[in-house]
Amino acid sequence: VFDVGGQRSERRKWIHCFDNVESIIFITAISEYDQVLFEDETTNRMIESMQLFNSICNSTWFLATAMILFLNKKDLFMEKIKRVNITTAFPDYEGGQNYDEAVAFIKLKFAELNLNPDKKTIYMHETCATDTNQVQLVISSVIDTIIQKNLQKAGMM
């Protein structure tokens, strides 16, 4: 397990982590759709996160790598969406200012980034890292996903 960091300055350190990667857990804070990067005040955090996810998901390094997406900080998102429309990041959003519609739209946006949906599944989980019970369930689900993928790869399923 490697935490490769999210800031642009950290990304150049990733290359040594790429050998024999079975799965990638990509974590994005869905509550940051109206915020900009620390190091670039002109770039929206959610858009930057999606661009990074796109480059990782579709990289030749990870053609056979399971992608697990954590849409984190759902508790903050649930409150913020009532006040701040996600059109801040997604001008094409036409849904309501409610959690279910907005999360479904964001999931669709991430799913559309996968250029090989017939070969690669993106497993998505809405998370709140401070909810230990929920995180335990999600981690168990992730472990099951990794085991299933390895069994399939070994021809045992």
Annotated binding site: 3-7, 72-75, 129
What's the whole-number mean pLDDT along residues 74-83?
97
pLDDT value, residue 10: 61
pLDDT value, residue 85: 96
What is the rounded distance in angstroms from the CA atom of residue 17 to the CA atom of residue 136? Answer: 25
What is the rounded distance in angstroms from the CA atom of residue 134 to the CA atom of residue 137? Answer: 5
The neighbouring-strand residues paired with 123 are 68
What is the rounded distance in angstroms from the CA atom of residue 9 to the CA atom of residue 45? Answer: 15
The pair of three-digit structure tokens given for residue 40, joined into one six-digit string? 């670039």
Coil, strand, or helix at residue 139?
Answer: helix
Annotated binding site for GTP: 3-7, 72-75, 129
CB 121 within 8 A of CB 68: no
Domains and CATH numbers, the chain: 11-154 (3.40.50.300)
Single-letter amino acid, residue 91:
P
Query: How many degrees, rounded to 5, is the angle at CA 23 between CA 22 and CA 28?
Result: 160
What is the rounded distance in angstroms from the CA atom of residue 86 to the CA atom of residue 3? Answer: 28
Task: Report the range of poorest mean pLDDT among 74-78, 110-114, 123-127, 141-145.
Answer: 141-145
What is the rounded distance in angstroms from the CA atom of residue 126 to the CA atom of residue 11? Answer: 24
Does this model's pTM top 0.85? My answer is no
What's the whole-number mean pLDDT along residues 33-54?
92
